[in-house]
Amino acid sequence: MMTFQESVKICLTEKFATFQGRASRSEYWWFVLAVVIVGLVASLLGWIVQWIVTLALIVPAAAAGARRLQDTGRPGWWIWIPVIVSLLLSFMAPTMPAMGPDGMPVGAMPGMGSVALVSVLGIVQLVIALVFLWFLTRPSQPGANAYGPPPTA
């Protein structure tokens, strides 16, 4: 089993943008923990720092996720499905009108159609997140698979 430090070191240096091969559960989940901790700290430091951290960690996080999926026998490109659905949801989300000096909304309220669409996409995103949580927690396939030999740690 890989340690926290080994996982972070491997994912950020040796396999920063490596989408080929396989990643053990310990390698992946220790790295996810590190990304969550760094993300929380960055969010406390302001939105600019948070964006810089997000941009810096999106490639190694996606690469580790792809290798983890491949370790369970699933295609690594599937890791982009939740990312794409999340981006769609964020771009399609209706915005609330600005508040005027009197506390009343200035502008039009979002239509019910857009609210309904975003609600459906939100449910789809939740289902996809749960399915991927299940995929990423599955044990490694024993022996070599189409994506290479089993991870060493």
SS3 for 99? strand
The pLDDT tens digits of the residues spanning 105-148 come to 776 666 667 778 888 888 999 999 999 999 999 999 999 999 99
SS3 for 82? helix
Structural domain span for residue 66: 4-97+106-137
Residue 144 lies in a domain: no
Determine which helix (DSSP H) or strand (DSSP E) holds 37, and give its type and residue range.
helix 25-45
pLDDT of the residue at 13: 96
- Of the two residues 53 and 115, the one the predictor is more confident about is 53
Q: For the chain, what is the domain count?
A: 1
Tokens of 100: 């005027």
Residue 131 lies in a domain: yes
Angle between helices 25-45 and 47-71 (to 10 degrees): 170
From 92, 75, 85, select the one nearest 19 (Cα to Cα): 75
pLDDT of the residue at 117: 81
Residue 143 lies in a domain: no
Rounded to an integer, what distance in angstroms lies between the CA atom of residue 44 and that of residue 15? Answer: 28
Residue 24 burial (10 A CB sphere; 0-12, 13-18, 19+): buried
The arithmetic mean of pLDDT across residues 71-86, rounded, is: 95
Which residue, chain included where needed, has tokens 């070599």? Answer: 144
Residue 152 lies in a domain: no
